[in-house]
Structure formats: C-alpha cells, structure tokens
Amino acid sequence: MITGIVVALPEELSTLTSKKIGKGCCVFISDKIVLAYSGAGADNARAASELLIAQGAAQLVSWGCAAALTEFLIPGDLVLADTLIDAEANQIRIHNDWFELAKNLLSTRLKIHTGSLAESLGIVAAAADKKHLHTQTGAIAVDMESIAVAKVARQNNVPFIAIRTIADPAGMDLPKAINHSLNDQGDIVLAKLLLFLALHPAELPGLIKLGLHFNAAKNTLKSVAKQLDRLTALASQDR
C-alpha cells in the first residue's frame, strides 16, 4: 500500500528526505512512500493530495509544523489530531484504526497530544488571535493545510492522519518580518526578509527565537520520521 505525505515547506520536507523536490511535484522516497511538496495553504495542499492519489496513494498524511493555541503546548510538542475543524467550523473526526495504531506506536517513544486541529486561511501571527481561535473552536493547534488533505482523503475514501509539531507557542507574537516577507504563495522571500531586518533591526531577536522553536519542531518530526516505515505500514493491518 502506497502512502502519500503532503509537506508544505522545504524545511519540513528536509525532515523526511534530502531529495530535491519542486513545488507542486512529488517523489517516491521508498517503494511505498511518496512525498509531495505542496507549498503553503489549502489550495496547494489540495492539489498535492490529488496528485498523490493519482500516483496510487491509498492513505494520506499531513506532515509538518503548527502553531499552538493553548499554553500547555510548547515548541517541539507532537500533536496527533483526532478532529479537524475548517475555517467554516465544519468538523472531520479522525477515529480510524490507523489513527489509533499510530497513537499507540508513537506514544511509546514520544509524548503525544491529541485534540482538535483548526484551519487558518493565513498565518495566525498574534497571540491574541490564537487565543480567540482557541475560544471559538476549542482546538489546541492550527495549521493551513491539514483540513484540505483530510477532505481529499475523505472524497477518495482513504485513511488519513495529521502529524504536526508545535513551532510557535500560543503566547508568542510572530515577528512582523514574517508577514512582510511572504509572497503571494505564502513563501518567505529571503530578499524581503533581509531588507525588512535592515530597516527594523529590533526584529532580529524575535526571529532568532522563532528559529530555535522551529528547530525544536523539526527535531521532533525527525524522531517521528525514524518510525515512518512502521507508521505507514499500520493502516494495512486491519484491511
């Protein structure tokens, strides 16, 4: 059984492979695992998921980082979503056998937080906005891609899980340099970032702190990646 994994950012992709993948493209990293580098956002994630299905994927994974919406989550914490909430407050519950088996496997090696994962249509940068989103949805974390992947999985009647690690904590306001450096595709443009930093050097400490948080999230993803063969084989056990 082929597993398709959707990854939005190149830094997240590096936790799974050293292969170069163009945005919107996919590559097999083993006989039964194919990765798609989607780029940020729901539209990109949806297209990548459909590409993976066309490549023969019979189960889908949303892989990467998320922002915490509750204070008890810290950078590097692993979230295995049991419910996904889209931007219109519609819910998809993840209570399949694969989810339960994955939770049991990963919990022997890592501390897992289960709960709802909300969708955002853009980066949730302000701590106040994270708090508001938690109050509205009850979700413990938020990302931009998982719900789109889950909807493609549901449309194709294939299993789905979301594996996300916390990059920025609920109480952190993201540096303004992040939003100022994004292009229309949701990618950070280095030239824009450097220019903004040159004009606003006080932003540098916040960016360094965010970078350390992001490294903690990536390290957790690398730990999960060591179990990837076992993790992706689990869904076929009850079929």
- Specify the CATH number for the domain of residue 164: 3.40.50.1580
Tell me the whole-structure pTM to 2 decimals. 0.90
Indicate whether 209 belongs to any domain. Answer: no
Indicate whether 166 belongs to any domain. Answer: yes
Indicate whether 6 belongs to any domain. Answer: yes
Cα angle 165-93-95, degrees, rounded to a multiple of 5: 85
Indicate whether 145 belongs to any domain. Answer: yes
Indicate whether 196 belongs to any domain. Answer: no
CA distances from 224 to 28, 81, 111, 170, 232 (A): 18, 15, 11, 23, 11
Cα(222)–Cα(218) distance, rounded to whole angstroms? 6
Indicate whether 51 belongs to any domain. Answer: yes
pLDDT of residue 236: 56
Strands 57-68 and 2-7: parallel
Nearest CA to 231 out of 67, 80, 70, 95 is that of 80
Counting residues of the chain whose pLDDT is more than 70, the rounded percentage is 95
pLDDT of residue 186: 65
Tens of pLDDT, residue by residue over 5-52, are 999 998 999 999 998 899 999 999 999 999 999 999 999 999 999 999
pLDDT of residue 184: 66
Q: How many Cβ atoms sit within 10 Å of the Cβ of residue 194?
A: 12
Indicate whether 53 belongs to any domain. Answer: yes
The domain total for the chain is 1
- In this predicted structure, the answer to whether residue 239 has a pLDDT above a threshold of 60 is no
pLDDT of residue 185: 65
Indicate whether 207 belongs to any domain. Answer: no
Domain that holds residue 227: 2-173+216-236
Cα-only R_g, the chain: 17
